[in-house]
Every structure is written in structure tokens, then in C-alpha cells.
Amino acid sequence: MVRLIFDPKIREMLEPSAVAVIGASSRPGKIGYEVLKNIIEGGFEGDVYPVNPKGGEILGLKVYQSVLKLPKTPELAVVTTPAQAALKVVEECGVKGVKGAVIISAGFSEVGNYDLERRLISIAKSYGVRIIGPNSAGVVNTSLNLYACLEFRVKSGPISLISQSGAIGGVLFAYARASRIGFSKFISCGNSADVDESEVLAYLAGDEGTKVIALYMESVKRGRHLIEVAREASLIKPVIALKGGRSNAGIRAASSHTGSLASSYAVYAGAFRQAGIIQVEFLEDLFNSAKALSTQPPARGDRVAILTNSGGPGVLTTDACESLGLKVPEPSSELKSKLMSILPPICSVRNPIDLTANASYDWYFESLKILLSSREFDGVIVICVPPSFMDSTLAARAVIDARRFYPDKPIIASFLYGDVVEEGVKLLEGNQVPNVSSPRGAAEAMKVLVDYGRIKFGRKFGRRFHG
């Protein structure tokens, strides 16, 4: 067993009481201006020190001409200067006693400038300064209202993201805004020249604000160590990953993005399985799966009930579940009898359970209570495609009310039709029921709950996992 040990400087960097923005600019559109603005407007309550040799004032704050002239030593420096100038900046940070620096500056190994990156890290190590990046998009800690990054702000929530791409963070933040869920931490590792994904993963495994850890990776430099850390971290909380660079062209693109050599996807896939890292193939699945894992209990088996008011989406969801290795079994005669006792003859109870377009609150609610209480199913996908005369909030309320009786079995909602179901979706997600707006996406979200059930119950407790 590998203990989840990390350099305490990483915690100080991500939980600072003071931040310096080095290369701060008075010109909107410049990185040094936008990062500083993000920190100020985000509401960070610690000390913020803009640094620029020209001095003066930016956004109402005094500008210091050097890190060495700061009145207080910040735990975190955010460096936005040109690449060559970053070396001197890091040296001054070391002299000042700064714990770590996020290097947003580009122009290092990602463009073939390996020697400059080696010199940067050599200087940092000589002074004991930890480096996130270079070529990073920054870091976020919503519990401190710290948005030291290039991406737009996101509300606080249970998901933390480690990414080798800053833009991936921005896309997931946009998804979060639309889904009424938030993030706890975001760490853009960039080239991972010093602090890498395994160290951040170890930190997040013990972070109380993080319920689910999401990873976007293109390459890894300490693969064995990452797997060892992930094996322990995944027993504490779910770890889910999207690997970029699966095709030959993608591997080439990944190598030019972070300056690291990417390996065959098959190697990563096998290692991820060994470590208990749940894998997804698409960006939207990374978000939907993290959302599901942060709001639902893991499934104790792979048998899925599908409750729908429309046959077509039910069929598509069934196909998606089967293609992912989930089972959609027909209910037993006893369970069918229970369903038929509360539903009219027009409904099908074979699974999918089709309530038809006439579905009411009562039909959804009573059916869900039966399915959630049954030992024949390990999770339920609830589909609602409302006809013009149906209020989607009634179906949503039925899901929420039924879940209160059976909180230990996962539910994934799939309310379709865009703005027609908007109020219903708001109600669902405001009550910790994730909505995924496609049949395949709903099946994928249920699949990760099954996968994490295998990890949590099969490995940690030695229990037999159904199927």
C-alpha cells in the first residue's frame, strides 16, 4: 500500500493567504491583467500583490516592482511574464521564500524548448519552490473564492478537476453553470514539469471539499506512481479520467500540446483499470459522470430498470445500456404484478416500463417506489419526454419524492426536449438528482456508478458484486 503523501507546499499553494501576480498588466486582454482581475472580482479575501517593474497601480491595487519588495511573503505566485523572464522571477520567489509558483507563461517544452524548462525547474528546486506548469491555465479553490486562472469563474461544488488543458476546465465550468453544480478545485498542470498529477491527486484524495476527482490527461511522466496513488485514492472517493491522444494523430497532437511523449491508449486503459480509475471516452461524459458520482450512491450491481413515458427513448436507452455491458432484464412475474396493480393496462411493464404519454405524477411515483425497493434492480434511469399537455415538474417531483424513501439506490434522470423540461431539470438537480439529456449519456452515467460500485464494494469490502 502506498500512503497518500504529498509535499505540504502543494496545500499551501492551493490554500494561500496571499497571492502575487507577477507580470501584472494594466491592459485589458493581457494575461497579467485578466488573471489579476479574476482574483479580485472572484472575491479572494487574502492579500493580492500585483508585481511589475513599472510600479504604479492596477485595478485599485498598488503595484510592486519586484517580488523582493512585497510587504509579506505570499504562499503562491502566479507568473505571467514571457518565458525567459520567468527564470529570474522564480529565483526571486525562492529568495523571498515563496512556497510555489503557477507558471502560466508558455514557450517551454510544448514548443520544443526543453532546455529552458529544465533550467526553470533547476532554479526552482535549488530554492525549494514548487512549480505548477509551465504552460498552465492556473488554479482555482472555490472555498477561498480563489480564481487564479484564465478560465471564467464557477460556483463552489463537489467536483475537483486535474487537467493538462486549461480549456478543458473552461468547457466543464460551462457545463457546470448550465447544470447547477459546481467545482471545489481546479488545477491546470500544463507541462507537469515539477508538480504532477499524482501529487495533486494525493492532495485531493484527502480534501474535504472534494467528493469526486476528474482527470483530463494526455500523457504522464510518472506512470507507475500515478497508478499507485490512484489505487489508494479510488478507495476513498471516485477518480474518473478522460484520456486525450487515443489515435495516432491524437498522440502527435498531445505531444505538441504539453511537450511530453504520449503512449498507446491501450497501455493507459489497462493501467487505469488496474488502479481503479473509471474511464470515459467523451468530454461530456467526463462531466456527466462526475455529476452522477457526486450526487448518487454507487450501484451494487449492473441490473438497470428504465422507466419512461415514451417508447423510442426507452428503446435507445436500452440499446445504450446493453452496449456498455449493463443488463436490462425483464422483471419477474411477481414484480410485473406489483407494477400492473398500480398502472393501467395501456402501460408496458417488461422493462423499459413504458408509462405512455398519459404518465402522471402518481404513475411515476408509485412505479419508482416499486423499482427502487426491488432486489431485482440495482439502479433506475427515469426518462421524461413531456407531451404538450404535461408539466415536467410533476415527473421531477415524483422522482424526488420517491428517492427520499430509497436514497441508497442510484437514479439517473433523462428529461428530454430542451427548454420544455427546463423547470423540471432545475427541480431535479436542485435536489441532487442528475439529469443527462441523451439516452447514451444517461446509460454512460449509470455505467460509471456501476463501475465505482465494483471498485468500492468488490475490492474494499470483498463482497460479491452481482453480475
d(CA 406, CA 409): 6
CATH 3.40.50.261 range(s) for the chain read 8-292, 298-460
DSSP string, 224-281: HHHHHHHHHHHHHS-EEEEES--SHHHHHHHHHHHSS----HHHHHHHHHHHT-EEES
**Average pLDDT by consecutive 10-residue portion of the chain (467 residues)?**
82 98 97 98 97 97 98 98 98 98 96 96 98 97 97 93 91 89 96 96 97 93 90 95 70 47 69 92 95 97 97 98 98 98 97 97 98 98 94 97 97 93 96 96 98 81 41
Strands 304-308 and 18-22: unpaired
CATH homologous superfamily of 8-292 equals Succinyl-CoA synthetase domains (3.40.50.261)
Predicted confidence at residue 152, as pLDDT, reads 83
d(CA 388, CA 366): 23
d(CA 414, CA 429): 11
Which helix (DSSP H) or strand (DSSP E) does residue 372 occupy? helix 361-373
Predicted confidence at residue 2, as pLDDT, reads 53
CATH architecture of the region 298-460? 3-Layer(aba) Sandwich (3.40)
Predicted confidence at residue 250, as pLDDT, reads 46
The number of helix segments (H) and strand segments (E) in the chain equals: 16, 19
- The vertex-135 CA angle with 67 and 76, nearest 5°, equals 35
Closest CA to 440 of 371, 368, 383: 383
